[in-house]
A and B are shown apart, each in its own frame.
Chain A
């Protein structure tokens, strides 16, 4: 019987291939196919969950990821973006369902590499430099974690959690966040958040219990405070949505690493909230709803911590 890992690699890759075969000017067919694949993908996920092939956490992560990407698939008719979204999503899903931490890291690196490549194509030399720095940053932390799994030292815990933290935009572990999202098209921002954050959350759930939970709690609280200050200083509306997410993600990271699964749920809601902000950027009334939701989530996270 086909394994879920193979399925998530085959299904979206086939979708990407079929979409790329549609002629460039035939946006109608591409749109119909995109909707069809999206529905089929949701049904597949439901079936896999119903047959207990994937567990609840994996299902929630994959479903949130697909839900966050609906806007790109249904509304936009960008030829390259449609194809590349499926490709990146397949690697992201493979990382979430990977049978080992090392395999998950390899898929996660591949996913971020492709994503940064897409970002590189969206801008000039400034984006090129950002993508270059980010590729090397992710390579360094992923490789360090990959080899750290092979060894058995207590202090390596901090290296093991770095790839996960960097992907959920934990302020101290993601120096790339500010540059990557600067002048980035909204679709690419959504693509980054929707595909990378679930991978980071999945990597964090695989991590062992922290050797010093107090230190982790202090770092998370300090990071959240730092992100809150940046949020107040930030002028760009688009960047503010990301920084708002950073406040919530840093608090939820501490919960997830202490094996409190409620943190994962709240972080995913925060992710959808930020993506909603980005998508409905021109609607000021929706922002009140966004900030209200974020406040409730932050309050819940702070209370649980």
Chain B
């Protein structure tokens, strides 16, 4: 683990050094930065080898894969955005690599102290990444708000540690779960997360979901579920149910598509909690799904633009499906998978939860899942109607890059492939099928 961390930090410094060197000698155009991206990708690849080889971390293999996919896609999104916006700040790649290293550490964290320190560091990096466009007032506001919430989270976790040390278990557990719910953006604490997802650049949003849901989710799965009493179980079930229902309801009323999609992304916190409570074995497939669905979704929001200052409202998407049918279908499929519509990988996760809920005689969870899926499909079906049913009123500007189309289609394709694996091989445990991937070094 330490080798991976050191390698990533080394490559992050290398990226930073090369960028400052490029700035000094005047090579500040976007085309000059390709080699830095190549170095960042090489760092990501080289650092992964010792991690997958470690026998004691074999059970976390899929979480590492999910985290690596998330970072890889974040690097591609960063590259596309930096070129598109013609911005010359170069610390982005270095920050992404360090953030990746911290998330990997978060996945393996086994005690609260480690989690507090790592999450605090990761949050600081997310603040830095969100405000990389320092000229944009809205982004700065989001960064500031996320900074405040990070400090608050740090205090809460520290208090929890303090109470654990003084053997006040009940209060300590309450503080721990309260802070974890805040960390993963569970309802009703999703406000800042939604703002971040909406305003921050897509690569920062991808990393936010990676840190909070994959890093935080792994900690919940490895450590926090040990401190679960019956009362706390029911308490968390209420929060999970709210997370499945409230964000899609709020998404119904949104005019801005970016905000609508952000609300739909927050359903993931509810799915994570339900999986932690009922089916821990499938949580790694959830991470894998998340690492593909979130970047695919976020890349799609900014794909269709009428102008540089597009508001991303409903009218902006009218006729977009007719213009780019394959990308539109792929994007809608990824969105549907995110809310767990039938024939997607998200639905398979819901099915796993449903079967476990029946075994625990909690049949009402089935109704809850059904309502959550239908509510989530309301805005997506409306989006499909706007994209395919309405003619476009504007001449769409070609602001997207071919890599973006590829990214959206590839994400949807891999999710569909994973769903087919789960569908056609029901006699096997899907988790073990995914473990048979060529990651068995």
Contacts and interface: CB of A to CB of B under 8 A. Distances in A.
B354 interface: yes
B369 interface: yes
B385 A142 contact: no
Interface string A96-121: 00000000001001100000010011
Nearest to B341: A139
Interface in A105-150: 106, 109-110, 117, 120-121, 123-125, 127-129, 131-132, 135-136, 139-140, 142-144, 146-147, 150
Given A147-B354, A147-B369, A147-B370, 19 more contacts: A106-B343, A109-B343, A110-B342, A120-B384, A120-B388, A121-B389, A124-B389, A125-B390, A128-B389, A131-B385, A132-B384, A136-B377, A143-B374, A144-B370, A146-B342, A147-B367, A150-B358, A150-B366, A151-B358
B193 to A, nearest CB: 27
Given A143-B374, A147-B367, A120 B342 contact: no
Contacts of B370: 140, 143-144, 147
Contacts of B363: 151
Contacts of B382: 132
Contacts of A121: 388-389
Interface string B371-392: 0011001100110111011100
The number of chain B residues touching the other chain, given as a range, is 20 to 34
Interface of B: 341-343, 354-355, 358, 363, 366-367, 369-370, 373-374, 377-378, 381-382, 384-386, 388-390
Contacts of A127: 389
B354 to A, nearest CB: 6
B374 A120 contact: no
B71 to A, nearest CB: 34
A144 to B, nearest CB: 6
B373 A143 contact: yes
Contacts of A131: 385, 389
A120 B385 contact: yes
A147 B374 CA distance: 13
B392 to A, nearest CB: 13
Contacts of B358: 150-151
A142 B384 CA distance: 20
A140 B342 contact: no
Contacts of B390: 124-125, 128
Interface of A: 106, 109-110, 117, 120-121, 123-125, 127-129, 131-132, 135-136, 139-140, 142-144, 146-147, 150-151
B377 A106 contact: no
Contacts of A120: 384-385, 388-389
A143 B343 CA distance: 12
Given A132-B381, A143-B342, A117 B373 contact: no
B389 A125 contact: yes
A110 B363 CA distance: 26
12 contacts: A110-B342, A120-B385, A123-B389, A124-B389, A124-B390, A131-B389, A139-B341, A139-B373, A143-B342, A143-B370, A150-B354, A150-B366
Contacts of A144: 370
Nearest to B388: A120
Contacts of B366: 147, 150-151
A140 B374 contact: yes
**Chain B contact residues, majority secondary structure:** helix
A131 B358 CA distance: 34
B185 to A, nearest CB: 26
Contacts of B341: 139
Given A147-B354, A150-B358, A142 B374 contact: no
Contacts of B342: 106, 109-110, 139, 142-143, 146
Contacts of A106: 342-343
A303 to B, nearest CB: 40
B149 to A, nearest CB: 35
Contacts of B388: 117, 120-121, 128
B374 A128 contact: no
Nearest to A151: B363
B335 to A, nearest CB: 14
A128 B385 contact: yes
Nearest to A134: B381
Contacts of A117: 384, 388
Contacts of B385: 120, 128-129, 131-132
The 8 A-B pairs at the shortest CB distance, nearest first, are namely A128-B389, A128-B385, A147-B366, A143-B370, A132-B385, A135-B381, A132-B381, A120-B389
Contact of A135 (B369, B373, B377, B386): B377
A136 B378 contact: yes
A110 B369 CA distance: 19
Contacts of B374: 136, 139-140, 143
A279 B378 CA distance: 35
Contacts of B369: 147
A135 B367 CA distance: 19
Nearest to B383: A132
Contact of B343 (A110, A129, A151): A110
Contacts of A125: 389-390
B356 to A, nearest CB: 12
B207 to A, nearest CB: 33
A191 to B, nearest CB: 18
Contacts of A128: 385-386, 388-390
A150 B374 CA distance: 19
Contacts of B381: 132, 135-136
A98 B423 CA distance: 13
Nearest to A107: B343
Contacts of B377: 135-136, 139
A52 B366 CA distance: 38
A125 B390 CA distance: 6
Contacts of B354: 147, 150
Nearest to B369: A147
Contacts of B373: 139, 143
A123 B389 CA distance: 7
A106 B341 CA distance: 11
Contacts of A143: 342, 370, 373-374
A128 B384 CA distance: 9
Nearest to A129: B385
Contacts of A136: 374, 377-378, 381
Nearest to B329: A117
A124 B388 CA distance: 10
B310 to A, nearest CB: 22
A52 to B, nearest CB: 25
Nearest to A135: B381
Contacts of A146: 342
A99 to B, nearest CB: 11
A81 B170 CA distance: 64
